[in-house]
Structure 1
Amino acid sequence: MSILELSCECRVVHVSDVDSLLEAMLSIPRLTAAFLEIGVTELSGSAIEDALLHHRASVVLTRGESLWSEAQERGWYMLVRPFTEQMVKDTLHEMHILG
């Protein structure tokens, strides 16, 4: 269990590829936020984006900082690597997910 899970009411799901992510999303009834190690161009128009839209999940990208403004235009957040757990919490606060 992560420190994040201990400090808030959440469940952290780790997957290593797109197929695993889509499969995991099928079993998650409520998805509030997704932290994705992909960039804007990879997410735009993908099956992952469609599934996240279906869940109305907030998106945080952790790759592709050069397209920061494009991510913001889509309402997505971005964390620049390396990031800390505190930065994750700060982003969740900014997204009004963590109180």
Structure 2
Amino acid sequence: MKDSVEPSGLAHQDAAPVILVLERDPLIAEDIIGSLGAVCDCRVVHASQLEEFLAKLVEEAHVLAAFLEMRLSKVVESGLDQTLAQKGAGIVLTVGEDDQKQAQEKGWGMLVRPFSDQMIGEALRSVVRPEAGQVSIP
């Protein structure tokens, strides 16, 4: 599996927004990565384990969004929410649908499984803040 994916036909640009994906299932990860690449000109970085995700997160100066296969309580307990906030990242949870209200109160998105390409785009748009100088997602 590729660690980073860019939309086909687009040249790599260091300034391209970075989206991190934490997902254990390679097929689900590929679906999310492909959909994100179709939604925006971004660099998507995938990790299948939290330790790998944290190592890749450290390498990035700024992160547009993170799609996390983690429950809200685990994100908060681990402090990952604070680390991602420091990088400017919006958070989208991909598991724990019963946490949806709490996630929304925190300004986080929720991607409910099974999901579609459209739902992935909507989840990304829900956490990106163009008014704060972030890239606008069509």
Whether 2:53 is the aligned partner of 1:5: answer: no
- Aligned pairs for 1:68-79 (under 5 A) are 68-79=100-111
What is the CA deviation profile of residues 42-85 of structure 1, one whole-angstrom value per residue up to 9, with x for unaligned ones? Answer: 11131322210211210000111111111111111101011122
Distance 1:85 1:50, change over 3 A: same
1:21 equivalent in structure 2? 53
The 1-side partners of 2:127 and 2:65 are apart by 9
Total equivalences in the alignment? 99
Whether 2:125 is the aligned partner of 1:86: answer: no
Q: Give TM-score, length-normalised by structure 1.
A: 0.86
The 2-side partners of 1:47 and 1:20 are apart by 16
Report the alpha carbon displacement of residue 88 of structure 1 after superposing the two structures with TM.
0.9
2:137 equivalent in structure 1? 98
Structure 1 SS opposite 2:37: helix
The 1-side partners of 2:97 and 2:35 are apart by 26
Aligned-CA RMSD value: 1.7
Report the alpha carbon displacement of residue 94 of structure 1 after superposing the two structures with TM.
3.2
Q: Give TM-score, length-normalised by structure 2.
A: 0.64
2:70 equivalent in structure 1? 38
After TM superposition, where is structure 1 displaced by more than 4 Å over at least 4 residues in a row? none
Unaligned residue ranges in structure 2 (runs of 5+) = 6-33, 129-135
Unaligned residue ranges in structure 1 (runs of 5+) = none
